[in-house]
Amino acid sequence: MVIEPNEIPSLDIGDLLSGGDGVRTRVEIRVWAAHLDEYRRVSPAQAQWLLQCSAEYWQDLPADADSRALVHSLLALELLVAEEVPDAETGVGPVSRSTPGEGHWWPLAAIHHRHSRWQGVDSVTDMERSQLVTAHDLRQRLGSPPPAVPDQGPLPGQIGLPEVPASALESLGRRRVTCRNFDPGRSVSMAQLAAALQQTFRAHAQLEPAPGLVFLKKNVPSAGGLHPMEACLLVQRVEGLAPGLYRYHPLRHALTPVVPECELDADTARRFLAGQHWFVDAAVLVVFVCRFERSLWKYRNHRKVYRAMMLDAGHLSQALYMAATECGLGAFVTSAINEVDIEKALALDPLKEGPLAICGMGWRAQERTTAELDPLQGAWPAPGGA
């Protein structure tokens, strides 16, 4: 857990009238824990007692009444756990802090993951309120960004590289354009969906070098060859497939229904996507659900493993982009998602399994109503075919 002193400013009219700046601050002590969705406010005495507790071993309940009262207050805040719930009067039972140690998380990564999750956020409304929607808005509100390429000027010894003919793979990559204009009335075929999953999440072989230790061979790399990322699909319009939530099985190349259409509502996609309405009409949303335990089995208490799992999501998103583009479909990826809402729909324990990103794919609309970055005109040819 992390104990944070947080300064909260307030207006002091008396100080302002007497010639001061009118700003008064008070310090609030917050405790961020990996097993709690919200921080807890504590007193200095409570914070001091927390710092005296072991994160690994049970401790006997203190004998003196004041310390015992602090323990009870911290138990009520869920910052301590009891092996046996102590009676308010007798105080029987050892106590300890609750940590993600059993899951082998590095504590700071676990806290970051837990508290960077969203629930019920409408990111578009927030952008509109902050006037940060268009490129003009960004420039006006935030000023000039750092340059796209650092201007180093002529460099002694700089060696120019030859232009080579574009390969089929490079040509496909040039046609890859994030889609923000999906056709809400057009379905993708089962074959298109199968092809996209086959090129990304499907396991094409497996190896068992030791009993119970299985490695999968997929088309994308993964830290330690562990492939912790699973695909959960929100199907909206796929020919021959009922709308609903599905889990993909990478060895059987098959989908298993998780939540049927009758248990979803019209706003499920918008809720998952934190209000990003330009993605909502994609025919299929692919939620990247990371099985943290799979990676943490090897990389125990490792400072880099969370970053490695994010890289796994990046590999898969690019592969899915390319697969969708090859099928003639538009695609997108976003990490601006309401993780908690997704966890509830899929019944996930956030320290064992959690969504890291959402990709989507579907047919592009006939008209572009939302801007897309397409300077090569690979998705939207110039008027008149120029």
Q: For 95-134, write each residue's pLDDT tens digit.
A: 443 355 668 999 999 999 999 999 999 999 999 999 999 9
pLDDT greater than 80 at residue 384: no
What pLDDT, on the 0 to 100 scale, is given for residue 386?
38
Say if residue 94's pLDDT is above 70. Answer: no
What does the mean pLDDT of the chain come to?
Answer: 92
* Angle at alpha carbon of residue 330, lines to 327 and 336, rounded to 5°: 135
Give the pLDDT mean for 285-312.
98
Q: What is the pTM of this model?
A: 0.90
Residue 214 predicted with pLDDT over 90: yes
Question: 174: part of which helix (H) or strand (E)?
Answer: helix 168-175
With a cut of 60, say whether residue 87 has pLDDT above it: no
The pair of structure tokens assigned to 278 is 């330009």
> What CA–CA distance (Å, rounded) separates 373 from 112?
31
Q: Does domain 123-132+176-368 have CATH number 3.40.50.2000?
A: no
Q: How many CB atoms lie within 10 A of CB 342?
A: 26
> Measured between alpha carbons, how far is 70 from 36 in angstroms, rounded to an integer?
19
Q: Where in the chain is the domain with CATH 3.40.109.10?
A: 123-132+176-368
DSSP 3-state of 331: strand
